[in-house]
Amino acid sequence: MKLEDKKRVLREMVVHRRFEERCYQAYIERKIGGFLHLYPGQEACCNGVMEAARPGYDYVITGYRDHVHAIKCGSDPREVMAELYGKETGSSKGRGGSMHIFDVKHRFMGGYALVGGPFPLAAGIAKGIQMKGGDEIAICFLGDAANNQGTFHETMNMAALYKLPVLFVCENNLYGIGTAIERSTAVVHQHKRVCGYDMEAAETDGQDIEKVYEAAKTAINHVRSGKGPYFLELLTYRYRGHSMSDSRGYRSREEEEMWKQRDPIFILRDRLIAEKAMTMADYEAMEKEVDNYIENEVIKFAEESPEPKAEELEKYVFADRESQMPWITGKAA
């Protein structure tokens, strides 16, 4: 990675971290409802892969831990926060919530809440690309536990069979909700599982963004050049529970502390400081600047935005009725 990119991405990762931590606070204040799944600890995964991809051009789809993926594709963090607040100005106009951020203009094709549900959708997006003849790729970010769904195997088979331009990124954070991977999964190293479909695969350290970036570059070159799908496993860790009601009783504080020693933001920060590209004071100033941005722009926007109107409850269930009249009435031109 180039130095200026590393500096830019460091700030982005701090935005992502602070955004998520501020969500936690807003949830406690009951400003955010529903289920909330936070990303701290895993930032290098999304950032490393997307630095090697073309955000806003390549199609991205993921599960319910989706805020950071949307922002990385180009979503305005203010709109993502407004969505969490359930506001009309939110990414999905307040109809989706935390688990269903969508930003199609930036080709962020959504967060989905059924574990493993996005696998076939990603393959389908790749099928659409294949039919339209573009050089975009589809990137599907999911956790390790999604690989125990039938959709994983069914989709790997079809993606390989039809040679679809899709990259599957497995963010292996070692837990499926509150069950440790070795207690739910016969094969802990997830990239081994796709050899049954003759699919190219690799595994790398998901805490070091430069390693993620290099592995993703190889993977994306493979997919974009028409060689078919690729499966990239990133070893990572989520600091918080699965969602907000999770007190993390299934793992030790020592284990958590061990992973925090390998924090993706600190790894990059310390490297930049060692390379004399920045000082600790620069970093601290940047953190402060990011906190101000989150508070004064992102939270403020969400707080001040209007609610959707109750009379628009049924808007968006179906396509705009006027445009569909030829088929609704059978009076096609």
Partner 1 sequence: MAEIMYWEALQRAHDEEMARDPLVICMGEDIGVAGGTYKATKGLYEKYGPLRVIDTPISENSYTGLGIGASFLGVRPIIELMSVNFAWLAMDQMFNSAAKVRYMSGGQLTAPCVFRSAGGAAHQLGAQHSARMEKVFMGIAGLRVVTPSNPRQAYGLLKSAVRSDDPVYINEHELMYNMKGDVPDGEYFHPLEGSEVTRSGTDVTLFGYNISVHWNLKAAEILDKQYGISAEVVDLYSLSPLDREGIRKSVSKTHRAVVVGEEEAPVGVCAEVISIINEECFFELDAAPVRVNSALVPQPYNHTLEKAAIPNAEDVVAAVLKLFGRG
- Determine which residue in the list 4, 29, 150, 310 makes contact with partner 1, applying CB under 8 A: 150
Nearest residue (CB) to partner 1, 161 versus 195: 161
281 binds partner 1 (CB under 8 A): no
Give the residue, chosen from 86, 124, 176, 264, that forms a contact with partner 1 under the rule CB under 8 A. Answer: 124
Strand extents, DSSP E, the chain = 59-62, 108-111, 138-143, 166-172, 175-176, 179-180, 200-205, 230-235
Binding status of residue 280 toward partner 1 by CB under 8 A: no
Min dist. Cβ of residue 324 to partner 1 (A): 6
Q: Quick check: 309 binds partner 1 (CB under 8 A)?
A: no
**59-78 in b/e burial notation, b at 16+ Cβ within 10 A?**
bbbbbbbbbbbbbbbbbbbb
Q: b vs e for 162-190, b when ≥16 Cβ sit within 10 Å of the residue's Cβ?
A: eebbbbbbbbbbbbbeeeebeeebeeeeb
**Is 69 near partner 1 (CB under 8 A)?**
no
* Rounded-to-integer distance, Cα 201 and Cα 232, Å: 6
CB of 217 to partner 1, least distance (A): 25
- Nearest to partner 1 of 6, 78 (CB atom): 78
Cα-based angle 284, 287, 291 (whole degrees, multiple of 5): 140
74 binds partner 1 (CB under 8 A): no
The residue within the footprint of partner 1, chosen from 157, 184, 218, 243 (CB under 8 A), is 157
Q: Which residues pair with 105 in a beta bridge?
A: none
Which residues does 220 contact at the CB level (< 8 Å), separation at least 6?
A: 52, 53, 137, 167, 230
| Cα–Cα dist 267/207, whole Å | 8
Among 7, 11, 54, 100, binds partner 1 (CB under 8 A): 100
* 258 vs 313 by CB, closer to partner 1: 313
Tokens 């590393």 identify what position?
6
- Cβ at position 211, least distance to partner 1 in Å: 30
CB distance 1 to 213 below 8 Å: yes
Would you give the DSSP letter of residue 294?
I
Using rule CB under 8 A, residue 170 touches partner 1: no
Question: Applying CB under 8 A, which of residues 21, 76, 128, 197 lies at the interface with partner 1?
Answer: 128
| Interacting residues with partner 1 between 13 and 52 (CB under 8 A) | none
> From CA 85, how far away is CA 208, in angstroms rounded?
32
Q: Which of 2, 253, 276, 331: binder of partner 1 (CB under 8 A)?
A: 331
Binding interface with partner 1 (CB under 8 A): 59, 61, 90-97, 100, 102-105, 109-110, 112-114, 117, 119-132, 138, 150-151, 154-155, 157-158, 161-162, 315-319, 323-324, 326-332
